[in-house]
């Protein structure tokens, strides 16, 4: 597995997580396109933020070895970032609608 493939997998898991979360919690949904965009950007943002802790794709695949635990943590962070992005954007939308 290469670092690029790991990045694509984590982004895909993020957009999947955002759409599944929005399916269960309809009040946070922005539609399929909005959930997908929020999931992609939320997962990328949180993974970039936590990347310095050792969960970057380059750290997961180093010296020809694949490390499963950091990979799973990377996927969890990706889903969490997507969910947090949906919640943040919905709260922002509600705050802007009140004006």
The residues spanned by each domain of the chain are 3-98
Distance, in Å, from the CA atom of 4 to the CA atom of 63, rounded to the nearest integer, reads 15
Q: Which residue has the tokens 């950007």?
A: 41
Structure tokens at 38: 């929020």
What pairing do the DSSP bridges indicate for beta strands 61-62 and 65-66? antiparallel
* Residue pLDDT tens, the chain, 99 long: 688 898 899 999 999 999 999 999 999 999 999 999 999 999 999 988 887 777 788 888 887 788 888 889 999 999 999 999 999 999 999 999 887
What integer pLDDT is reported at residue 25 of this predicted model?
Answer: 94
What integer pLDDT is reported at residue 79 of this predicted model?
Answer: 95
């Amino acid at each position: 597995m290469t670092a690029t493939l790991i990045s694509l997998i984590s982004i895909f898991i993020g957009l999947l997580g955002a759409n599944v979360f929005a399916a269960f919690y309809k009040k946070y949904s922005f539609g399929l396109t909005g959930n997908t965009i929020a999931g992609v950007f939320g997962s990328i943002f949180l993974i970039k933020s936590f990347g310095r802790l050792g969960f970057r794709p380059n750290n997961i695949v180093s010296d020809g070895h694949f490390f499963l635990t950091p990979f799973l943590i990377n996927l969890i962070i990706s889903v969490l970032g997507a969910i947090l992005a949906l919640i943040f954007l919905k709260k922002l939308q509600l705050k802007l609608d009140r004006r």
